[in-house]
Amino acid sequence: MYTIIQKFHSGWAYLAVLLLVIALVNAAIGMTSNKEFTPKDRKLALFALIGAHIQLVIGFVLYFVSPLGMASFGQMSDKALRLTSLEHPLVNIIAIVLITVGWSKHKKMELSNAKFKAITVFYGLGLLLILSRIPWSLWF
């Protein structure tokens, strides 16, 4: 069971990061070109939001069925163990919160440029945090 969830979490991560990159690039282009915010733009941002949240839920399940999860808190001197048991989950929760804030902020705005800017800033910060805490040695 653990191995299946771990592989799904790793595989879904590629899709979640790809969706975030696509939504971020789309929002940055929309912001710099002063184009109108369309339903296509909203859907791209929504798919990235959903993909990130699904990744978070899978990560929570993996964390609590993992043999490394809570039992490893006494061993924080091991960098790899600290990354996977503390830094990766904590920073990614913060990243998903930022992405969610960006989604919520864009819905309250009237101007297209402001919507694109909210998505660009918050999704960009979230993506940056996610990329900073991916255990790259386990990813490739």
DSSP string, 9-53: HHHHHHHHHHHHHHHHHHHHHHHHHTPPP-HHHHHHHHHHHHHHH
Q: What is the pLDDT of residue 86?
A: 81
Global pTM reads: 0.89
Say which residue, 41 or 68, is predicted with more confidence: 41
Q: Average pLDDT of 39-48?
A: 97
- The pLDDT assigned to 41 comes to 97
Can you give the pLDDT at residue 71? 57
Indicate if the pLDDT at residue 50 is higher than 90: yes
- The arithmetic mean of pLDDT across residues 67-75, rounded, is 60
pLDDT per residue over 124-140, tens digit each?
Answer: 999 999 999 888 777 66
Q: What is the pLDDT of residue 69?
A: 56
Cα atoms in the 13 Å half-sphere on the side-chain side of 113: 3
Taking residues 39-65, report their average pLDDT.
95
